[in-house]
Amino acid sequence: MEDVLRLVILTVLGFGGGILSGLVGVGGGTVFVPALTYVAGWDIKEAVAASFVIIVFSSLTGTIRNARSESPVDWRTAGLLASTVAPSSLIGVAISRVSPSVVVEVVFAIVLLGLAYPTARRRHTPSNGAKRIPLALVLLAGVGIGVLSGLVGVGGGALMTPLMVLGLGLTTKRAISTSLAIVLFTGVVASVGYIATGFRDLLSLPPLIAGSMVGALIGVRLRELLPERVVQIGFAAFMVVIALDLLGGAVGIL
């Protein structure tokens, strides 16, 4: 009975993370890491490693579903950012294996709080007339996001989406679709890195993976039904919640 209950709990956690993945363009690590740590009792570093394996499947499901959505992936932008975010996630993996992540979590949270307000206030302008930021800064931001994602166990979507909205002129919905594709590439690279450096608890992941894949399909569908402005404000609120969660964990409140 205890094993069945554990299976149900893991499946439900995967489902919730999958919905979040499809809805706001993150891999779901922001749900999986705290859930595995606080609910399932995993070590934080093992939870980070597991979250990336799950992220591969949830983001793949969401990306495939996005191909039929009204706001599909911008593959040029996805390729540009994935070329820096995915490889640099291995730097975060290496740092995670040798040092605590409290300082980086605090920095990550501060960045999220700083971006939440302009993301919520932004009014969309057509992408061909939107202001662009220099390519060098985009690539530099990708490296930083990759390191942070590899270290704290998220795919980086919480930072990549506002980067694409504020800097590259994408709509919030299209930025979320594109972010999910980048998260997929990042998850594959980071998963290989964690498995190569010792993560072995793969047998506990199938219920989480199954739940996340179903949830991702539902999350993408929900995003299609919601107005752009609602998604925009909702994503900003999501950033604030994640930032407060990271800060609370760093100072021992949560």
171: left (phi over 0), alpha (psi -120 to 50) or beta: beta
Domain boundaries, the chain: 2-251
CA end-to-end span of the chain, whole Å? 30
CB 21 within 8 A of CB 149: no
What lies within 8 Å, CB to CB, of 67 at 6+ separation is 73
Under 8 Å between Cβ of 124 and 172: yes
Residue range 62-81: mean pLDDT, rounded: 87
**pLDDT band at residue 121 under the 50/70/90 scheme:** low
Q: What is the mean pLDDT of residues 205-216?
A: 88
pLDDT in tens, 158-203: 778 878 887 788 888 898 889 889 988 988 998 898 888 888 777 7
- Residue 241's pLDDT is 80
Token readout for 95 is: 């740092």
Which pLDDT does position 155 carry in this prediction?
Answer: 59
Q: CA torsion angle for 116, 122, 128, 130 (degrees, to 10)?
A: -80
Which range scores top for mean pLDDT: 38-47, 55-64, 110-119? 55-64
Report the percent of the chain where pLDDT is more than 70.
81
Check pLDDT > 50 for residue 126: no
Please tell me the pTM assigned to this model. Answer: 0.74
Give the pLDDT score at 104. Answer: 63
- The token duo for 41 is 């009792």
Q: Is the pLDDT of residue 31 over 50?
A: yes
Phi, psi for 179 (deg, rounded to 5)? -60, -40
pLDDT surpassing 60 at residue 50: yes
d(CA 108, CA 113): 9
| Count of helices and strands (H, E) across the chain | 10, 0
> What percentage of the chain has pLDDT greater than the value 90?
6
Q: In the structure, what pLDDT confidence band is assigned to residue 138 with cuts at 50, 70 and 90?
A: confident
